[in-house]
Structure 1
C-alpha cells in the first residue's frame, strides 16, 4: 500500500507560485535532451468551489491547498466528515451526524487547526556536519552531473508574502513568503515505471505517473519510493525507469567510490 507523504515544510510548498512549478516543467526537456518533462495538473480547491490551482500534494498531485488535502485525508484516512468533504464513504453502522468535524469556540474546525499546524512546521534540517565532508560535497556534484537534479530540484523560491492563493482563501504569511527552500523535488508528475494505473485529477496519461518525492528529510526514512518497497537508496535509484532511465543508468556506471559519495550526499538530506 502506498504511504501518505510526510508533511514537515509543506506550508512552504503551498506557498510556491503556480508559475514557478510551470516554469520548472517547461525547463526540464531542455535539461534532459527531451527525456524528462514533468506534468502539471490543475487540482480543485475544495474551499473555493469551481477554482483550481497547480496540484502539489498527494502522490497524484490531486490537491493544491493544504486545507483541501487535510479535509480529504480526514474523510478517506480517518472517516471524519468535514465541511469540505461532508459525505461519508459508507453509512454502514453510522451513528453520527455530518459533518462530524464541527467548529470550536474560536470558529475553527479541526481541519483548520491542522492546516495551521502544518503551515507552522519547519523544513527538515540537513546534516550540516556530514554535508561539509569531502565525500558529501563530491556526491552533490555527482547528483547534479548524472541528472538527478532535473526532477529533484534543489532550490525553489516561494511567492512573496501577501500573495493571495488557494482561490482567495489564504494569504502567504511573512514566515512563508519569498523564502528559498531546498526540497530536492519538483512536485510534478512523472512516469518512472512504478505507477499504479490510477487517474485522479489529471488526464488519462497520468495513470502511471506519480509526484516526484521531495528528498528533504530523506535520512530519517527507513524505506523509499511511494510503495515503500525499496529498503536501500541504491535499490530506489535502480527502480527509476521511464523518464528517469538515463540518470539511473549513469548512476550504475559510476565507480564504487563515486556511488558511495553520492549516497553519502543523499544521507545529508
Structure 2
C-alpha cells in the first residue's frame, strides 16, 4: 500500500498491518518537530505563535519526561518545560494576558514577560502589555512526564467515581471529587482539565505553542483582543489541513504516540505497609482497573483534593478551585528531580511537607514515623 504523507514530505510503502506502527512513528515525528512562524515555504511546518512558550512538544518533555529549569546570570529562566498559568478564583482569564504567559514571540513581537525563578518561586517582570487585572493570580507549572498516559486513559469512569467522596461521607477528612469538563471526567493535567489525551494535546498546542487544532481552532493561541499586534500576524491555517495549523490527522498521530508510551516499570521494593499506614494510599491509590481488565499501578485516584493554603494558587480551572489539585501519579518518581506542580520541592520529603488540607493527617503521620520507617517509606516512593 502506498501512503503519501505530505506533512513530512515523505512517501512510505508499508503493508496495512503496520498502520499502527506508522501512526506511532508519525506521531513521534510531529512531537519532535520544531514549528516555524507563518508564512513558511513548507506549510506543514508553520503556524508557530505568534506568542508561544516552546517551539515543539519535545522541548517541554525531553525524553518524554518532566521539564527542567535552568537560569542565566540574571536569574531568568532559560529552560523549557515550565509555564506561568494565570487566572482568577472565578475561573476567568486575565483580560489582557489570557490564561497563560507566553514568554517567546515570533519575529517582530516581544514575549509577554520575563520570568525569574529563585528557591521554587516565580517572579514576573517587564509585562509587555501593562499590568494584569487586580484579581489575576499566577503560578508556575512544570511539565509532567508522559510515560503510561495511555493506560490512565483506559481507566473507566466508574473506577474513578468509585473513590470519589465529595461530602466526606466516611468522615476521614478526604473528599476527592472529579473535575467535570464538558460533561466528561478530567484525568490529565495538574488540575484534571483534560478528559482525553487528544484534548490534552490540543490544549498544549494552543497554550504552549500557539497553534490551532480541532480542540481549539483559534489560530492565535492565547492571544486576547487586547493584543492587537498579535492578532495582526499571519497564521498557518490552510485548506490542506482542514483550515487549521494542526489538523485532526496530525493531532490523532500525536495522540497515538502518547497513548503507546510505556509506563514505568513497577518497583521491586516493598513498602512494609507504611504507604497505607500513613494514609498516603488514601489518595495515591496504588492501582486502578482499566476498562479491559488490566491494572494500572500509577498511585493516583485521578481526583481533585483540597491541598491547603501552602499549595493554593488562586486559579480556578473547570470545577477545580484554587486550592484543589489532581492527585499526581507517583510512578516515575525515581526519574524526578523537581516535585509538585511548580517544581518548588527538590525531594519527596520536601513535597510531602508542603501538603496540607486533605493531606494534613497523612503528612502528620509521616512525620511521626521513626527515622527507620521514614527512611524505608521514602526509599519505596523514590523507587516508583
- TM-score, normalised relative to structure 2: 0.57
Pairing 1:195–2:340 present = no
Which one has more relative contact order, counting CA pairs under 8 Å at least 6 apart? 1
Question: Which residue of the partner structure matches residue 24 of structure 1?
Answer: 163
Structure 1 unaligned blocks of 5 or more: 45-51, 132-136, 161-177
* CA displacement 1:108-151 (0-9 Å, x = unmatched): 22x111100011111111342xx1xxxxx2x3411110100000
Further displaced range: 184-193 or 93-102: 93-102
Report SS of the residue matched to 1:24: coil
2:246 maps to which of 97, 101, 106: 101
2:191 maps to which of 39, 60, 77: 60
CA contact (8 A) 1:126 1:217 kept: no
The number of residues matched between the two structures is 229
Report SS of the residue matched to 1:59: coil
Further displaced range: 21-30 or 118-127: 21-30
2:281 maps to which of 149, 156, 167: 149
* CA displacement 1:194-230 (0-9 Å, x = unmatched): 1211112116xx2210111000000100011111111
Alpha carbons of structure 1 residues 94 and 140: separation in structure 2 relative to 1, 3 Å: farther
CA contact (8 A) 2:191 2:326 kept: yes
C-alpha distance in structure 1 between counterparts of 2:255 and 2:350, whole Å: 34
2:254 maps to which of 110, 114, 118: 114
Pairing 1:14–2:153 present = yes
Question: Which residue of the partner structure matches residue 60 of structure 2?
Answer: none
Question: Which residue of the partner structure matches residue 264 of structure 2?
Answer: 124
C-alpha distance in structure 1 between counterparts of 2:312 and 2:258, whole Å: 27
Alpha carbons of structure 1 residues 192 and 43: separation in structure 2 relative to 1, 3 Å: same
- Structure (1/2) with the larger helix percentage: 1
- Structure (1/2) with the larger strand percentage: 2
The RMSD of aligned alpha carbons is 1.9
Further displaced range: 253-262 or 81-90: 81-90
Question: Which residue of the partner structure matches residue 262 of structure 1?
Answer: 377
| Displacement after TM superposition at 1:252 (Å) | 0.5
Report SS of the residue matched to 2:358: helix
C-alpha distance in structure 2 between counterparts of 1:140 and 1:27, whole Å: 30
| Displacement after TM superposition at 1:30 (Å) | 6.3
* CA displacement 1:231-264 (0-9 Å, x = unmatched): 1111111111111101100111111111000011
C-alpha distance in structure 1 between counterparts of 2:235 and 2:361, whole Å: 53
Question: Which residue of the partner structure matches residue 81 of structure 1?
Answer: 212
Pairing 1:3–2:142 present = yes
C-alpha distance in structure 2 between counterparts of 1:235 and 1:54, whole Å: 30
Question: Which residue of the partner structure matches residue 172 of structure 1?
Answer: none
Structure 2 unaligned blocks of 5 or more: 1-139, 224-229, 238-243
C-alpha distance in structure 2 between counterparts of 1:39 and 1:220, whole Å: 29
